[in-house]
Chain A
C-alpha cells in the first residue's frame, strides 16, 4: 500500500500555491484570447512557393494598415496563420488576397478564413463563461444529492483547482483560448468529477464498513483500492488524447493539450485535494450513517 496520506500537507501547500500563482497569472498576465472571444480575423494560408516565409509575409501585410497583425507558421513551413484585429473594411480579405498576389504571385490558397465581429465575440465569451458556471453548479447539485456536504465541498474544491490551474498554465504558456478550449475545460470538469466520485464512493463504502479506522488512514486505503482503476483509466484517456495531439492536426492541438493537462490535474486533485478536504473536516462514520438514518 502506498502512503499517499503522508504527503497530504505537502501537496496541499503545493496546490494552494499553484492556485494562487494561477490566479495571479490570470489577473495580471491574462489569457491569450483567440478571435472567437476577442473579435478579429484569421486566415490560414498555404503557399506553393517554399521561398515565402513568415517575415516576408509580415512585411507585405504590415503595409496594409490592418492594426496588430500576427503571422505564424502553422504546422509546417508552407502553412501560415495570419491574425489581425477587426478591420472595419468589409472587403479586407479581398484586399489581402490581391496584395499577396501582387507581392508573391498567385502562390497561395486560402484554406481557412474566419471573421468574428465584436458583438459575436463578446456573446461567445459570455456564453462560454455561463456554460462553465452552469456546469460547475450542476455538478455541485449532483454531488450534493449523492453525497454529504463534506464530500461535495471536497469535489468542488478539486474541480475549481483543476479549472484554475489549467487556465493558469494556459496563461503562463500564452496558449490561445478559443471555443474548443471551453469544450475541453467542460470535459475536464466531467473527468475530474468522475475520478473524484469513484474514490469517494469507496471512501463512503469503507466508512460504513470500518468504524475503528480514522479518516486519515481510511482515505489512504480507499485511494489504494481504487488506484489501479484510476491509473488505467488515466492512461487510456491520455493515450487517446496524445494520439489527437500528435496526429489530429493543428486545429485540435490546443484542445487536446488542455485536456491532457486537465486529466493529469484531475487525477492528482481527486487524490490530493478531494480526500484531504474529508480529512480536514474530520469526516467519520457518523457523517455517513446519520445521513442514512434520515432517509
Chain B
C-alpha cells in the first residue's frame, strides 16, 4: 500500500491542480474563457421565489366532454342513429339508443381506426371508455385518455406560463414540468412574487358575447357578474370572438375620455367575425368577459371593420398593462393553483451565506486544530489532505455547475467533520500495528490495508443515505445530499492518494526514527 510510481504522483498532482483551478474560479476571474464556471447559488442563498403550480384540469375535462356530447350526437345522426337522453354528470356522458343500434354504437367506440374515439396502440387503450349499464351507455375518459389530456394541457400551460414570465422580464427563470399536472417555477432574485402570482393565477379566457335581454337564445344564456361585483347581466353563451383571435394587445391612454384602455388587434378571421357581429348588432350591448366576469359591456354604435378595438373598464395603468400582457400571452388551458410557495428575500440570502461561511470557517479551524494537537506531523498531513478535499469538493461542484443551498453548506461542513474519520481509522490502526511491529514501513503498510474494509463500509453507509436523500428529497435537501455524496468521493481520493502520498514521503525519509506516530 505504500508504493507510488512516478506516473501516479504526477497524475495525483495534476488532478489536484485541475480541481483547485476550478474551485478558485469561484473567487477570481480568469482572463481565459476556459475556466469561467461558477457554483450556482440556490434560491435560499441568492434570494428568489419558488412556486409550484398545479393545473386544475377538471373544468377542461368538463368542457371537452361538453363538446363531445355534440360531436357524438352529430356523428351518429349522420349514420341515422338517434342518440337520446344525453346527460353529463360526474365527468361521464350517458345516453341511450334504440336496441337495434346498440351494437353499431359499441362497434364505433371499439374500432381501432375510429376517428370518434382515437386509439393509442402504444398503450393498447382508447381515449374513451364505454360501458353499457341499465340500458344506458356511459362514456368517460380512459386512464390513458386522461393522461394524454393532462400532458397536452401541461404542455400548453407551460408555454403560456413561460410567455407571461418572459413578458415581465425576470432574470433566468427556471420553468419545469413536474409529474403530469404540475409546473415548477423558480425565479431567482425576485423578492416580491405578488405580481407574478396574480398573473399566473388568471386563466385569461377572454370572450366577446352579446348581452341578451330575453332568455330566448338558442345557445342558452348565463348570468354573469361585473368584475367590480356591482351588477349582473344575462349574457348569451354564443361566443362571437375569443382571445385566440387576438394578435396583439397594448395598454393606451384614451385622450378623449382621459381613461386607460387596452387596445387590441384581431387576426383576419377575428376581424371578419367582429365586423359581422358589429354590423348586425348595432344598438346591442357587447359584453367583454374575462374568466367568467364581465369587464365592460359597451353598446355597439357602429360597424367595426378595421379589426381593432379597445376595452375600457376603469383600469389603472398597472391593471391595463397586466391585462394586455395576459391577452398577448394567451389563455391557459385550465386554471392554475399555487400549491407551494417559498420566497426568500436577497438580504436573508446574504445573511445565510455569511452565516454558512462563518460556520464553515470556524468548524474547519476547530477540526484542524484538534487533529493537529492529536497527531502532530501526521495531523498536519491530514489537515493538508482536508484542505485539498475541500478544494476538490468545491471544484467538482463548480465543474458540474451544481446548485449550492444552505443545507448544502451544512453538508460541506459535515464532510469536514467526517472526512478525518478515514485518516483517524488509518492512524489508529498504524499505532496498534506498531506496538507489535518494529519495522515502521511494515506497520504503516498493514495499518493501511487492515483499515481498508472499515473505511469502505463507513463511506458506503453514508453514501446510501446521501443517494436516497438525493432522489427522495426536494430543493434544499437535494443540495445537502449532493455535497455530502460528492464529499465522500473527494474524501476517499484525498485520503488514499494525497494523505497517503504525503505519509509515504514523510516516513520514507524518517523510517529510522522510533515512535513516529
Shortest Cβ distance from residue B394 to the other chain A in the assembled complex, whole angstroms: 16
Q: Is A85 an interface residue (CB 8 A)?
A: no
Q: How far is the CA of A100 from the CA of B430 in the complex (A)?
A: 65
Shortest Cβ distance from residue B88 to the other chain A in the assembled complex, whole angstroms: 27
Q: Is B249 an interface residue (CB 8 A)?
A: no
Q: Is A12 an interface residue (CB 8 A)?
A: no
Q: B454, A197: Cβ atoms under 8 Å? A: yes
Shortest Cβ distance from residue B362 to the other chain A in the assembled complex, whole angstroms: 4
Q: Is A139 an interface residue (CB 8 A)?
A: yes
Q: B344, A112: Cβ atoms under 8 Å? A: yes
Contact stretch, chosen from B95-103, B297-305, B420-428: B420-428
- Assuming A111-B348, A198-B425, A233-B420, is B413 touching A248 (CB within 8 A)? yes
Q: How far is the CA of A194 from the CA of B480 in the complex (A)?
A: 19
For chain A, give the interface size range.
35 or more
Residue of A nearest to B420 (CB): A236
Q: B374, A248: Cβ atoms under 8 Å? A: no
Q: B469, A236: Cβ atoms under 8 Å? A: no
Residue of A nearest to B455 (CB): A198
Q: A131, B468: Cβ atoms under 8 Å? A: yes
Q: Is A135 an interface residue (CB 8 A)?
A: yes
Shortest Cβ distance from residue B196 to the other chain A in the assembled complex, whole angstroms: 13
Contact partners of B339 in chain A: CB under 8 A: 117, 119-120
Q: Is A284 an interface residue (CB 8 A)?
A: no
Among B337, B341, B417, contact of A241 (Cβ-Cβ < 8 Å): B417
Q: A194, B461: Cβ atoms under 8 Å? A: yes
- Assuming A138-B468, A241-B414, is B473 touching A179 (CB within 8 A)? yes
Residue of A nearest to B49 (CB): A113
Q: Is A149 an interface residue (CB 8 A)?
A: no
Total A-B pairs, Cβ < 8 A: 209
Main secondary structure of the interface of A (DSSP, over half): helix
Q: Is B400 an interface residue (CB 8 A)?
A: no
Q: B410, A111: Cβ atoms under 8 Å? A: no
Q: A259, B414: Cβ atoms under 8 Å? A: yes
Q: Is A105 an interface residue (CB 8 A)?
A: no
Q: How far is the CA of A243 from the CA of B369 in the complex (A)?
A: 14
The contact string, 1 if C-beta is below 8 Å from chain A, for chain B 172-194, is 00000000000000000001101
Q: B356, A115: Cβ atoms under 8 Å? A: no
Q: B464, A139: Cβ atoms under 8 Å? A: yes
Shortest Cβ distance from residue A178 to the other chain B in the assembled complex, whole angstroms: 10
Q: How far is the CA of A111 from the CA of B476 in the complex (A)?
A: 17
Q: A243, B472: Cβ atoms under 8 Å? A: no
- In the complex, which of the residues A182, A191, A236, A246 has the most CB atoms of chain B within 10 Å of its own CB atom? A236
Q: A243, B362: Cβ atoms under 8 Å? A: yes
- Assuming A190-B466, A194-B462, A240-B416, is B481 touching A183 (CB within 8 A)? yes
Q: How far is the CA of A146 from the CA of B366 in the complex (A)?
A: 35
Q: Is A164 an interface residue (CB 8 A)?
A: no
Among B44, B348, B406, B484, contact of A187 (Cβ-Cβ < 8 Å): B484
Shortest Cβ distance from residue B337 to the other chain A in the assembled complex, whole angstroms: 8
Q: Is B35 an interface residue (CB 8 A)?
A: no
Contact partners of A114 in chain B: CB under 8 A: 341-343
Q: How far is the CA of A93 from the CA of B484 in the complex (A)?
A: 35
Residue of B nearest to A239 (CB): B366
Q: Is A162 an interface residue (CB 8 A)?
A: no
Contact partners of B424 in chain A: CB under 8 A: 229, 232-233, 236
Q: How far is the CA of A259 from the CA of B191 in the complex (A)?
A: 31
- Assuming A124-B474, A198-B458, is B413 touching A244 (CB within 8 A)? yes
Q: Is A189 an interface residue (CB 8 A)?
A: yes
Q: A113, B341: Cβ atoms under 8 Å? A: yes
The contact string, 1 if C-beta is below 8 Å from chain B, for chain A 195-237, is 0011001100000000000000000000001101100110111
Residue of A nearest to B356 (CB): A248
Q: How far is the CA of A226 from the CA of B426 in the complex (A)?
A: 11
Q: B469, A183: Cβ atoms under 8 Å? A: yes
Q: A183, B480: Cβ atoms under 8 Å? A: yes
Q: B410, A252: Cβ atoms under 8 Å? A: yes
Shortest Cβ distance from residue A225 to the other chain B in the assembled complex, whole angstroms: 7
Q: B347, A111: Cβ atoms under 8 Å? A: yes
Give residues of chain B (422-470) contacting chain A, Cβ–Cβ below 8 Å. 424-425, 428, 432, 453-454, 457-466, 468-469
Among B52, B359, B432, B462, contact of A243 (Cβ-Cβ < 8 Å): B359
Contact partners of B417 in chain A: CB under 8 A: 236-241
Q: A247, B362: Cβ atoms under 8 Å? A: yes
Give residues of chain A (231-280) contacting chain B, Cβ–Cβ below 8 Å. 232-233, 235-244, 246-249, 251-252, 255-256, 259
Q: How far is the CA of A169 from the CA of B258 in the complex (A)?
A: 67
Q: How far is the CA of A111 from the CA of B349 in the complex (A)?
A: 9
Q: Is A9 an interface residue (CB 8 A)?
A: no
Q: A194, B342: Cβ atoms under 8 Å? A: no
- Assuming A113-B343, A183-B480, A243-B362, is B52 touching A120 (CB within 8 A)? yes
Q: B461, A225: Cβ atoms under 8 Å? A: no
Q: Is A142 an interface residue (CB 8 A)?
A: yes
Q: B458, A194: Cβ atoms under 8 Å? A: yes
Q: B367, A240: Cβ atoms under 8 Å? A: yes
Shortest Cβ distance from residue B191 to the other chain A in the assembled complex, whole angstroms: 8
Q: B469, A186: Cβ atoms under 8 Å? A: yes
Contact partners of A124 in chain B: CB under 8 A: 474
Contact partners of B360 in chain A: CB under 8 A: 243
Q: How far is the CA of A90 from the CA of B197 in the complex (A)?
A: 9
Q: A193, B414: Cβ atoms under 8 Å? A: no
Give residues of chain B (357-385) contacting chain A, Cβ–Cβ below 8 Å. 358-360, 362-363, 366-367, 370-371, 374
The contact string, 1 if C-beta is below 8 Å from chain B, for chain A 106-129, is 000111111111011000100110
Q: Is A52 an interface residue (CB 8 A)?
A: no
- In the complex, which of the residues B338, B360, B472 has the most CB atoms of chain A within 10 Å of its own CB atom? B472
Contact partners of A119 in chain B: CB under 8 A: 54, 339
Q: A240, B413: Cβ atoms under 8 Å? A: yes
Q: B367, A236: Cβ atoms under 8 Å? A: yes
Q: B457, A194: Cβ atoms under 8 Å? A: yes
Q: B355, A248: Cβ atoms under 8 Å? A: yes
Shortest Cβ distance from residue A287 to the other chain B in the assembled complex, whole angstroms: 18
Contact partners of A293 in chain B: CB under 8 A: none
26 intermolecular pairs with C-beta atoms under 8 Å apart: A44-B348, A112-B343, A112-B344, A114-B341, A115-B341, A116-B340, A124-B474, A131-B469, A135-B468, A138-B464, A138-B468, A198-B458, A226-B428, A228-B428, A233-B418, A233-B421, A235-B370, A236-B371, A237-B421, A239-B366, A246-B359, A247-B359, A247-B362, A249-B355, A251-B406, A256-B410
Interface residues of B (CB under 8 A from A): 44, 52, 54, 191-192, 194, 197, 201, 337-345, 347-348, 351-352, 355-356, 358-360, 362-363, 366-367, 370-371, 374, 406-407, 409-410, 413-414, 416-418, 420-421, 424-425, 428, 432, 453-454, 457-466, 468-469, 472-474, 476-477, 480-481, 484
